Amino acid sequence: MSSPAPDAPRLAVLASGGGSNLQALIDAHARGDLPAPIVLVISNRADAGALARARRHQIPAFHVGRRDHADPDARILELLQAHRVDVVVLAGWLKLVDPRVLAAFPERVVNIHPGPLPRFGGKGMHGIHVHEAVLAAGVPCSGPTVHLVNERYDEGPPLAAVEVPVEAGDTPQTLQQRVLGAEHALLWRVIRDHFCESTAGVKGT
């Protein structure tokens, strides 16, 4: 992995799934495109592919679930602070972010959503359900949105979105793959542009 710029923000990635967006961030940092290092990965699922990917790259990776922690969100906050995280990235994280975490990282929690917002967001609108809804609506374009996170699902201010055309004969799965490719190209750029170009006010303690 390339050396981080001395004042680059330190990233944590929260991921519930396979972690292909995490991988895209790891790769962008290794290529030198993303100055910010990924210093911590947390999943609410012990078998998440994201944890395995992190460990393959020697990134500290933790499963935080209800079985082991009476207050999982307090444990998440403790890990974020212990690893001196500056920016929290939700990459396939399917839970609301606790208000204590939002208060500790004001305007420094970002989410990638696999569809246009606000139309295709909200509770239950995640993963394949987003692509099913887009196809059912018959819209010509989909595409990922990156936004700041607040206490409600998919409602924080958008930072960037790209359009991905819906093609004739698309299934939720084919559309999902095309959008996922766009997510991988988008997420590191938004983090770089929003948090790395000028790190004033971004670095935490």
Judged by CB under 6 A, how many residues of this single chain contact ligand GAR? 16
Q: Which is nearer to ligand GAR, 23 or 196 (CB)?
A: 23
18 lines the binding site for ligand GAR (CB under 6 A): yes
Distance CA 149, CA 9 (A): 18
Least distance from ligand GAR to the Cβ atom of residue 20, Å: 3
Q: Which of residues 124-153 bind ligand GAR (CB under 6 A)?
A: 126-127, 130
* Choice among 29, 113, 184, 194 that is catalytic: 113
Residue 147: which of 99, 66, 86, 89 has the closest Cα? 89
- Rounded to a whole number of angstroms, the minimum distance from the CB of residue 176 to ligand GAR is 7
Contact between 53 and ligand GAR by CB under 6 A: the answer reads no
Binding residue (CB under 6 A) for ligand GAR from 72, 92, 116, 156 = 92
88 binds ligand GAR (CB under 6 A): no
Strand partners, 14: 42, 90
Please give the structure tokens belonging to residue 163. 């359009």
* Residue 158 interacting with ligand GAR (CB under 6 A): no
Query: Considering the rule CB under 6 A, would residue 44 count as an interface residue with ligand GAR?
Result: no
The residues of the shown chain that bind ligand GAR, judged by CB under 6 A, are 15, 17-21, 91-92, 112-114, 126-127, 130, 180, 183
